[in-house]
């Protein structure tokens, strides 16, 4: 599986030849350095470890410095594995966005924005209990009953209730590469991808 590590820059829109407007996400894809090659003989599975983003050596522990020095590169901030990488690559090689082309279908993995503690209306789409009337107040956004009193006399696991929302690892499928800018390491991906601007994403072909 071809893939690369990138950083979400923001969103924009482009117009096609037919005049149709398409919302796009700008991603800085790579360049990434191959810092480890795993094989079925030595590790039990085939994978490439890619590293992205420079990191100061004084902020790196000795184990990190030694690990990256084997690949002939400076310490990196982000390290991810891609299983069954289809490229014939070697330790220390650089992977760029040239592995992608306009029109390719990709999947983007990222971490959604954290929303903090939210109620059931925002978190699960509840509608509340209607208008305020007959002595009822402050109940428009309440969850309602969460279980029986005498039986089962408890709340079942998995009940949709208020709680922390966001911060989940999400994969968005079926996205299309609209345009590639090799000189800036930018690619335009149709639609939105999870995460805030500046967050790290994985782009898989």
**Per-residue confidence of the chain (205 residues) as pLDDT tens digits?**
688 999 999 999 989 888 889 899 999 987 999 988 888 888 888 888 999 988 888 888 898 888 888 888 888 889 999 887 766 778 888 888 888 888 889 999 999 999 999 999 999 999 877 677 777 777 788 888 899 889 999 999 999 999 999 999 999 999 999 999 988 899 999 999 999 999 999 998 8
Whether 125 is in a domain gets the answer no
Structural domain of 93 = 3-118+157-204
In a domain, 50, yes or no: yes
| Residue 36 exposure: Cα atoms within 13 Å on the Cβ side | 19
Decide if 20 is inside a domain: yes
Identify whether 12 is part of a domain.
yes
The tally of domains found in the chain comes to 1
Q: Which CATH number covers residue 15?
A: 2.40.30.10
E strands present in the chain: 3-15, 21-29, 32-38, 47-54, 76-83, 94-95, 105-111, 116-118, 163-165, 169-181, 186-190, 200-204
Per DSSP, 93 falls in state -
pTM of the model: 0.82
């Amino acid at each position: 599986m071809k893939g690369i590590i990138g950083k979400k820059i923001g969103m924009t829109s482009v117009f096609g030849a037919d005049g149709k407007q398409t919302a796009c996400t700008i991603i800085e894809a790579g360049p990434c350095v191959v810092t480890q090659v795993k094989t079925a003989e030595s590790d039990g599975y085939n994978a490439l470890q890619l590293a992205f983003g420079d990191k100061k050596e004084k902020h790196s522990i000795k184990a990190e410095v030694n690990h990256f020095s084997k690949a002939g590169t400076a310490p990196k901030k982000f390290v991810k594995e891609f299983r069954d990488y289809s490229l014939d690559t070697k330790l220390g090689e650089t992977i760029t966005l040239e592995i992608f082309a306009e029109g390719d279908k990709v999947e983007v993995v990222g971490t959604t924005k954290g929303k903090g503690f939210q109620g059931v209306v925002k978190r699960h789409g509840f509608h509340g209990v209607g208008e305020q009337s007959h002595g009822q107040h402050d109940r428009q956004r309440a969850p309602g009953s969460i279980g029986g009193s005498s039986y089962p006399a408890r709340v079942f696991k998995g009940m949709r209730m208020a709680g922390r929302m966001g911060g989940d690892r999400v994969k968005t499928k079926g996205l299309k590469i609209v345009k590639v800018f090799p000189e800036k390491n930018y690619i335009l991906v149709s639609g939105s991808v999870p995460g805030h601007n500046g967050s790290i994403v994985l782009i898989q072909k």
